[in-house]
Amino acid sequence: MVTERLKRSISIRKSAGLHRDPITVEKHMGSSALVNGKQLINFASNDYLGLAQDTEWQKTLSECFANHPPSGTSSRLVSGHNSFTEAVEQEFAAYFGYDEAMFFPSGYQANLAAINGLCSPAETIFYDKRIHASMVQALPQTGSTLKGFAHSDLFQLDRKLSDAQSESAVVLTESLFSMDGDQLDTETFHQLKYLHSFFSIVDEAHAFGALGHNGTGICRGLTEVAVGTFGKALGMFGAFILMPSGFKEFFHNFASPVIYSTAMPEAHAAAAAALLQKLPQMGQQRAHLAAISELMRSELQDAGFTVQGDAHIISIGIGDEMKAAKLAEKMQDDGVLAFASRYPTVPMNKAVIRISMTALHSTADVHTFVNSIRGWYDRT
């Protein structure tokens, strides 16, 4: 029976410290979240600029959905595509430094579309072994020759590109990795691109809005295709793909997530247009985010922890899955909400406490976190 098998699988996961049971957030309050009636400083949110909690921004989104149709009604290839969304997508592309853009319901779907729509058995795909699960899931469906390279090891990528001598090489990576928090070495990546002439798809989901000039990320002018999400620093929902001129035609014809999905509504496009007016005004939030993230890294290192992360995602090495889960649980007693990232999100026995810093965090929040993890680490 399917049900019995699933129950056995859950039992196995629980015994291995790998069971997942989402908390229920009752309310977001600045840098904190109300969970089970208790206020916890939230280090598990990707609302990097605090935009999702901005009351003026919430009012703007409400007006967009009040004044524009809230449904796409059909796929883009039937009657779901409209001139208003087309115009906003073009504005979005220009803001981020690309020729064309396309909106999607989620980052997962956008990555599936980018890889499945653009890659085929004719390509050889070289991918960082720590790319997002959505990119990994898309790989087998392409029929491409697949060659992984060690995480962030661009020298190994160089060797593999040289050895393969592929006439149609595609490189998949991220600009700011979602678990480790390290940034792509853009200078070396640029050199390899010049040397090997590969096509690249870069996931900038955790960088857009928070990094680069006016939040335009760190790979502008470096990659042909970039994938971003609205649900992190950009304070709403959905995702987008940025691409060269003429590439929309490829997605309309070869990307099943586009062909067989209802188009994003006009109301969403109206919100995206408003966002382009908001992002250039958020330099102060970006500067504070960078400063508070640096403070957290420094204090954790001073406390003796093994820390990774070049920006607002910080990874604290724990190792054992059970210990990481218990540590995150105990820190809630101190009013801290943090996320224990375990297998299969990270390799087995490489569990981490993953911190998402936001522009809403204060120096006091950082001190509370460091004191909590330091206090519980040897007792779990």
Give the pLDDT of residue 338.
95
Give the pLDDT of residue 122.
96
Q: Where a domain ends, among 266, 281, 296?
A: 281
Structural domain contains residue 5: no
Give the pLDDT of residue 368.
98
Structural domain contains residue 12: no
Question: Whole domain around residue 308: which residue ranges?
Answer: 18-49+283-377
124's enclosing H/E stretch is: strand 124-128
pLDDT single digits (tens) 15-57: 887 888 888 999 999 999 999 999 999 999 999 999 999 999 9
Instruction: Kindly give the parts of the chain with pLDDT less than 70.
Output: none
What CATH number is associated with residue 261?
Answer: 3.40.640.10
DSSP state, residue 355: E
Of 113, 361, 128, nearest to 238 by C-alpha is 113
What is the rounded distance in angstroms from the CA atom of residue 276 to the CA atom of residue 264? 18
Give the pLDDT of residue 178.
92
Q: Where a domain ends, among 260, 281, 302?
A: 281
Could you tell me if 37 and 160 lie in one domain? no
Taking phi first (over 0 means left), then psi (-120 to 50 degrees means alpha), and beta for anything else, what does residue 143 get? left
Could you tell me if 44 and 127 lie in one domain? no
Give the pLDDT of residue 350.
87
